[in-house]
Amino acid sequence: MPVLKGEPLTIGTLLRKYFGPISVTWALTIIETALTALVPLFIGFAIDDLLAGELGELQGLATVLAALIAVSVVRRVYDTRAYGTIRVELGEELIGRSAYIPISSQNARLGMARELVDFLEEQAPALMNSVVQLIVSFIVLFAFHSALAVSALAGAITMIAIYAAFHRRFFRLNADYNQQSEKQVRILETMSPAGILSHLTAIRRIEIRLSDTEAIVYGAIFTVLMGFLLFNLWFAATNLETTTGTIFSIIAYSWEFIEAALVLPVTLQGWSRLSEIMERINKVA
């Protein structure tokens, strides 16, 4: 019996039915992320050690980098095979349920269904990466001074609040986009220049509205996070007694915190789109 037979086609179902291969890919992702998060700290240590004429910390940095390369290669080789199998079985099940809907809708929904697997392969691991990096960065910044960590936390909370204010708009625009996409094959089959132009214009109009919303959201988020980075640079240089390596580590982890934090709104936006897709592809009657 097929794995997905009779099951709702959702992220939760895929996690439950393919828990083994997905858990392996995510475990490798967490290990890779943890090693990546340690690199700036070991660079800072190596700088101070080299300035003192020592090589011990440089050897430690080389060990971390070697382990990072090995884990990264293994994860990518395994990921392609595991998620490729899930895409095939999900697509087969979706089309098997879609006999009574137009080919145009089947074609569009097949592409949409692949986005569920893309989320598990790309966005979910990116989210895990960001959580690990946020935690490590927060701990390191707190170890240097609590004010550095508090500014990071304030920036992250403000960023999430900004995205939350736009969540419903993203959901609505993605619904409009998917609805129009389902009509594409049928419109192309008509060979009507006016109909095709109208369809492409409608797609363009929705894409512009999505892009404009993203620009506003990310402009506001970047403003908040750049303020956090400038504060930490100023605070580290004027209020702490630090070495060159320590200042490098503070700035590196502040920037790493920003990069990790930016994944959160991207993931939330992806989830807004997936929520609409899951509603749509499960209406196959």
Residues 6+ apart with CB under 8 A from 217: 162, 163, 166, 265
Its pTM stands at 0.65
pLDDT the model gives residue 284:
56
Domains of the chain: 11-281 (1.20.1560.10)
Indicate the range of 5-9, 146-150, 182-186 predicted with least confidence.
182-186
Give the model's confidence band at 1: pLDDT under 50 very low, under 70 low, under 90 confident, else very high: low
Confidence (pLDDT) at 272: 77
pLDDT in tens, 183-235: 777 787 777 788 888 888 888 898 898 889 888 888 888 888 888 888 888 88
For 236-277, how does the pLDDT look when each residue is reduced to its tens digit (9 = 90+)? 878 777 777 777 778 888 888 887 887 877 787 778 788 888
- Quote the pLDDT of residue 24: 92
- What residues have CB less than 8 Å from 30, skipping those under 6 apart? 128, 132
Cβ atoms within 10 Å of 233's Cβ, excluding its own: 15
3-class SS letters over 8-42: CCCHHHHHHHCHHHHHHHHHHHHHHHHHHHHHHHH
